Amino acid sequence: MSVSLNGRTALVTGSSRGIGQAIAERLAADGAAIIINYTRNEQPARAVVNRIVGNGGKAIAIQADISKAADVTRLFSEAEKAMGQLDIVVANAGVYMMKPFIESTEADYDYIFGINTKGVFFTLQQAARRVREGGRIVVVSTGGTKMLFPNNSLYLGSKGAIEQFARTLAVELGPRNVTVNILSPGFTDTDMMPEQYHDYAATLSPFKRVGTPEDIARRGDLSRQRWGAVGNRTKSPGRRRCGQ
C-alpha cells in the first residue's frame, strides 16, 4: 500500500535521465518535492523539472559534479536553502565502462571510481549529516556485483565498494531511525547498457524483456517501503544487472 510523500523532500543525484529520472518522477508522483541533480545535461534536467511541475508537483534542478566533494556540499546546501531539510536522498549518479582488466588505465580508474565511489561516498556523508530523523537514504548499485562479467572490473568494483558504505552507514544511522538501503537493478534499458547485452538480458527475465527505468522506480518506491528497516538490499525481480 502506498503512503503519500506529501510534505517530504527528496534529492536524487544523476536524475536528468535513466533510472534517476524515473525514480525522481515516481517520488514526485507520490507527493515529494524533488531536487533534480545533473552534471552537464541541463536541458534534460530542466525538462524533468517541467514535467513534474506540469503534473502539479514541485521540483528544481541543481548542477553539481559529484566527483568533487565541494560540489556535493554545495548541492546539499542549495537544496536545503530552496526546499528545506531533506527527508530522502537517492545516490544514483554513476558512469559505466566496459574494458578488459589488463587494458584499464589509471585515468580509467580515476574516472570510474571518482564518480561511482568517491562521489557516492561524499553524497552519503552529506546525506548522513543532513537528512532529518526518520529519513531514508537509497544507494543505487547493480545486481552485477553478485555475478561474473568479464571486462567490467572497474564498474563492478566501484559498485561493490558503495554497497559496503551503505551497510556500514545503516548501522551508524540506526539510532536516528534513518534507513539506508541498496537498490540493485538488473539489466535496464538505458543509454548506459551495451547493445550487445540486450538479447542476453532479455533471457534472464521471466517476462523475456529488458527492464525499464520505470520498473526500477516501482521496485524502489519509497512510498511502499516500511520506515524502519535498514541495510537491506532490494533486487529487481527477474533481472540481474544494471547499467544505471
What are the grid coordinates assigned to 101, written together? 582488466
pLDDT category, 194, cuts 50, 70, 90? Answer: low
Rounded to the nearest angstrom, the gap between the alpha carbon of residue 129 and the centroid of all alpha carbons in its chain is 18
Backbone angles phi, psi at 60, to 5 degrees: -135, 165
CA distance 164 to 21: 25
E-state strands within 78-232: 88-91, 136-140, 179-184
Indicate the average pLDDT of the chain.
87
CA distance 160 to 178: 22
| pLDDT at 11 (0 to 100) | 98
| DSSP codes joined into one string, 46-105 | HHHHHHHHHTT--EEEEE--TTSHHHHHHHHHHHHHHH-S-SEEEE---------GGG--
Domain coordinates in residue numbering, the chain: 9-235
Between 62-71, 77-86, 207-216, the lowest mean confidence (pLDDT) is in 207-216
pLDDT beyond 80 at 159: yes
| pLDDT at 243 (0 to 100) | 31
Mean pLDDT of 15-30: 95
CA distance 8 to 4: 9
CA distance 117 to 218: 25
pLDDT beyond 90 at 175: yes
What are the grid coordinates assigned to 14, written together? 544523476
Mean pLDDT of 152-156: 95
Mean pLDDT of 69-95: 98
pLDDT beyond 60 at 223: no
User: Which position has the higher pLDDT, 75 or 193?
Assistant: 75
pLDDT category, 192, cuts 50, 70, 90? Answer: low
| pLDDT at 231 (0 to 100) | 47
What is the third-level CATH fold of 9-235? Rossmann fold (3.40.50)
- Note the pLDDT tens digit of each residue in 37-52: 999 999 999 999 999 9
